Each structure stands twice: as C-alpha cells, then as structure tokens.
Structure 1
Amino acid sequence: MSFNEIFTNKVINKNKLIEFGFVFSNNNFTYECSIFNDNFLLNVFVDLNNKVNFKLFEKDTKEEYDLVHVKNANGDFVSNLKKLCSEKLLEISNKCFDIEIYSNIQTKNIIEYMDQKYSIKPNFLWEKHPKYSVFKNKKNDKWFALIMEINLSKIGFKENEIEEILVIKDLPENVANKIEQNNYYPAYHMNKSNWYTVILNNSLSNNVLYNLIDTSYELVK
C-alpha cells in the first residue's frame, strides 16, 4: 500500500487527532515520534483539507532522510524505514480519520435519510468498485436503491464528468415517463424498465429525492 492510499476516502477527525497526540497550530496538525530504535524522528503534518505529509529526520545529523519518498528506492535499509513509516501512518489513519466514501453533501443527506427512516445503511458489495453501494430491504434483501460514482458518459452524456448518482425503482410506466423529463436518466447497472438514474448534484431537491426513495422502498416491501 502506498503512502497516498493509506488515507484514501478518509477525512480528519479533529478530536481524535488531538487525543492521539497531534498539536494544532497555524491551521495544521503536527505529530512527531521516534522510530527505528530511536534513530529517526518521524514528523506528520495534517491540514484542514485532509492533506497528509510527513518527513523523516536522522536524529544524529538532524538531516531529512528523503529516500523514503523515492518510489524506486528499495534497498533493505530504506525498505525497512518505509515499512515503519507506513505502519505509523496506517495507525494514524485508523485512529484519527473517519471513513468517507462519498464526498457529495446531497449523497450524504440521502444516506442519512435512509438510515434514519429505515435503519438501512449502504452495503458495499464490489471490491473492484468501492464507491458502489446497495440499499436493501432488511426483511427480504430486495434492493431498492444504489449509489455509485460513475463517469456520466455511461448514462449518455458526452462529457466525461465524474458524479455520484442514485439509481432507484418505480413502476415501468412511471420510469418511461420520468426519463422523458429533465434530470431523470436511464438506469445504470440495473434493468432499464424498472429502474432509473438521478444525478446527486442538487438538480433535484433533497425532499424530491426522499419521496422518490420512499416510492422505491414501497415497491420492495
């Protein structure tokens, strides 16, 4: 796992950072610890935009050991240092950051809505697609909604924009009527007769989306 991958889909939790030992100053959190038999000092920096950097210093010379940032540096000594840095960064990621699969506020709102109304959380079923999630009726395991991050070209757009989408159910005649309207699109990944897509970019209000979700849920009860 690369250093960047350690913090993929993670957001800072300020309280957890402070509890772990980070110090906040000048809009940055900083943390330091000794590694490699106390011969090196690891400094970790986290800003308010979730950007994480680190520097490694030799204690005797106080010089930065920047080979840990060189991808092709793979001798035994530097590999061991990279491993120790990764272990500490992974610990920080697990203890001081929260998981955030989706970044869109509207996406978060509808996930919260389904959790509060139906006590249903997203199921992530595909390892190759970590930003694809399914919402299932607890009693019969039938799907009533999917949230995915896709390239809009997959639902007919000419632009290669990445957006988070909601795919939900309705009666076939209603689906046919909807996709003739603005802001409704053919289903992605699901049967196009019974499912359709909306883009989670505030083109439809939260309340409209909540009603659409309720309709989809009723169809699988």
Structure 2
Amino acid sequence: MSLVDQIFKNKIANQSKLIAYGFERSNSGLKFVTILPDSKFKMTIVIGKNNLITTLVVDPVTNTPYTLHLSNSNVGGFVEGVRHDYQTVLKSIAEHCFDTEIFKNPQTKQLIEYVRKRYGDELEFLWQKSPNNAIWRRPDTQKWYATILTMDTHKLGVKNGHVDEIIDLRIQPGKMADLVDNYQYFPGWHMNKKNWYTIVLDGSVPFSELVERVDNSRNMNLTK
C-alpha cells in the first residue's frame, strides 16, 4: 500500500472543507500547492473524481519531479526530511478535509445518517484491532443498543455469503423465536443470543422496518 493510500484509508473528501483549506478548482480536480519547509520543493496535491488523490513534488532548481521520498528504502537526512514534510502535509489534509468512511453499504450509510439526525448519536469505534466494528449507545444510560460489524456472512449460514456489514440489535427474549428465520434475521453475532439478533445490511430488510427495529432496540435501554 502506498503512503497516500495508508494516510487516506477509509477517508472520503469533503469538498467544502477542501475549499476552506485552500484547494482551488482546476481541470483535473481540486488542487492545492504548497512549499515544503526544509527542502523548498513545490508540492501539488490534486483530489480528482472518485476520491482519486495524486501528488507531485518538484525540485525548483532543476524543475523536475522528485520521487525518492516515496520509497522507505531510500534513506539519508535530506530524503527523510522531504518524506517527513510530505507526510505532514498529507496528514493535515486528511485530518482537516476528509471525513472517515468505514462502512460502505448504502443501507449502512443511510442508517448512520438516520440515527445521527433523529437521536444525535454517533458511532463509537472501541476496538483498535477491529477498526471496522462500532457500537451505538444511549448517552443517558451508556448502554449499547446496536453494533455494526464487518464480517463474512458465511458464518451466519448465508448461502453465497461474503464479507458484508451487519447490525446487532436488542430484543425482548420472549420475542426472539418468532423473529429469527435465518434468512432476514439471525441469532446475534458475538452477542447474547437470548437478547440480540442480527440483520445483514444488504437491503434484505426494508429500511422502514430496519429503523423501526433500531428505535425499539434503543428504547429498551431506558433504565440503567
């Protein structure tokens, strides 16, 4: 993975933030030009279509591209200084101009926006070793009411399963048997299967039904 890919992994450009940062519109996309402080090399960053990020570092003395900083195998005080300044610029842009986008499924993104607008709750990413997993909790009781996980749905018994995004939700134990059908609704993955069930966020459950079940799960956490 290239240095650019590492820094911008799971990031998506926010155009208004890019403009505020100093990016300008060009034929190839939004462009930002800066001077690296130690080397005085000119660095150009372009954010093109489909979040494509390209960079160019130019030696102003020779007016030619400089590329030694792109490989960690190239060492020495000067090249390491260029690499440090190059990374600093990119990390600043990633922090100030890009939004984190861990989850990719359209239904997952739609659900995240619904919860944010209705309740003001934000996903919490608790596990460093599982960066693609997150939880929602009620701020008043601190109890979880949903988890969103990325997993191989073969493990749920899904025919032709693949890596996908799922949600675990709470339910009253007495209602579990009537709900779980191992088609749309599955026993809770990595959760207490008496109190939690799982939905694959692939559209198999209509969004209107999904948000109703999220609401019900959240409302089960009214008491501490």
Taking structure 1 as the reference length, the TM-score comes to 0.89
**Equivalence for 1:78:** 79
CA distance in 2, matches of 1:151, 1:83: 38
Q: Structure 1 pair 15/120, CA: closer, same or farther in 2 (3 Å)?
A: closer
**1:16, distance to aligned residue in structure 2 (A):** 2.0
Unaligned runs of 5+ in 1: none
Displacement of 1:38: 5.5
Q: Runs of 4+ in structure 1 displaced over 4 angstroms?
A: none
Aligned to 1:149: 150
Secondary structure at 2:190's aligned position in 1?
Answer: coil
Question: Distance in 1 between the 2:207 and 2:121 partners?
Answer: 18
Question: Structure 2: which amino acid aligns with 1:195?
Answer: W
1:4 aligned counterpart, secondary structure = helix
Q: C-alpha root-mean-square deviation of aligned residues, in Å? A: 2.1
Structure 2 residues without counterparts, runs of 5 or longer: none
Matched length? 221
Mapped to 2, the partners of 1:21 and 1:126 lie a distance apart of 34
- Please state how far the C-alpha of 1:133 moved relative to its aligned partner: 1.4
- Residue 20 of structure 2 corresponds to residue 19 of structure 1: yes
**Mean CA deviation greater in 1-10 or 60-69:** 1-10
Residue 116 of structure 2 is aligned to residue 112 of structure 1: no
The answer to whether structure 1 residue 33 and structure 2 residue 34 are counterparts is yes
Answer whether contact 2:133 2:149 (CA < 8 A) is retained. Answer: yes
Distance 1:166 1:96, change over 3 A: same
Greater shift after overlay, 166-175 or 57-66? 166-175
Matched, 1:54 2:55: yes
Gap change, CA 1:18 and 1:114, over 3 Å in 2: closer
Q: Verify the 8 A CA contact 1:176 1:193 in the aligned structure 2.
A: no
Distance 1:53 1:27 in 2: 10
Is structure 2 residue 181 aligned with structure 1 residue 180? yes
Q: Could you state the TM-score of these two structures normalised by the residue count of structure 2?
A: 0.88
What are the Cα deviations for residues 184-221 of structure 1, in whole angstroms up to 9, with x where unaligned? 12211211121111111111111100111122123222
Contact 2:186–2:197 at 8 Å: present in 1 too?
yes
Q: Which moved more, 1:133-142 or 1:205-214?
A: 133-142
Percent identity of the aligned residues? 30
Task: Tell me, yes or no, if the aligned pair for 2:13 and 2:51 is still in contact at 8 Å.
Answer: yes
Deviations 1:126-147 (CA, angstroms, capped at 9, x unpaired): 1222221111122222211111
Q: Does 1:8 align with 2:6?
A: no
Paired residue for 1:202?
203
- Residue deviations 1:90-136, cap 9 Å, x none? 11112221222322221122222223333322222112222211111
1:219/1:39 CA distance change after superposition, 3 Å? closer
Deviations 1:35-65 (A, max 9, x none): 1446311111211311212111111111111
Match for residue 190 of structure 1?
A: 191
